Amino acid sequence: MPNNRIITRTALLLALTLLFQSLRLFIPIPPFLSSFIIGSLVNACLLVAAEKAGFWSGFFIAMIVPIAAYFQMMLPIPVFIIPVALGNLAYICLFLFAGKWWGRLTGITLAALGKAGLVYAAFTWLLSFIAIPTKIAAGIMLAMSWPQLVTGVVGGLLASIVVKRIQ
């Protein structure tokens, strides 16, 4: 049974993650730039949650974030929630596993590579079945490609800084 500290950390990190994800609604940042800033902050929160509150806290946040993204109209159809959630889960799992065995930097790198690869492959597969306008599909595929790698690495580095400051 989780203790109050874990529940509180999870709740605070979920609130912070959702706040970061909502920044694009309040601050007029160009969409491509906001993807890098917001994606990095969200990824940092995922890793801080997994490392400081435990796997299940990270899992919970990783599943909630894409649902919120759908309601914020960042994901055009509900089925896109699944690959984003799985990508977040892969990010956490790879970070925790690789970080434990090979160190933090290797964990961050493998987590970012795994998330980017999984999300790109899943969206490529999904878009082969779903008929959406070509320009929208191209934009989705761009967002789910190399920017995922960049935001994964930057988010991991930000998480490293934050974790050092948390007791």
Its pTM stands at 0.94
- pLDDT tens-digit map of 44-57: 999 999 999 999 99
Q: Distances in Å between the alpha carbon of 51 and those of 27, 63, 67, 113, 148? A: 29, 16, 22, 19, 20
Asked if 54 contacts 6 with a C-beta cutoff of 8 angstroms, the reply is: yes
Number of domains in the chain: 1
Residue 8 in contact with residue 119, Cβ under 8 Å?
no
Measured CA to CA, the distance from residue 151 to residue 138 in angstroms comes to 19
Q: Which tokens in the block code for residue 102?
A: 């090979």
What confidence tens digit (pLDDT) does each residue in 74-122 have?
998 999 999 999 999 999 999 999 999 999 999 999 999 999 999 999 9
Instruction: Give the domain range for residue 133.
Output: 4-165
| DSSP-based three-state secondary structure for 32 | helix
CATH of the domain at 40: 1.10.1760.20
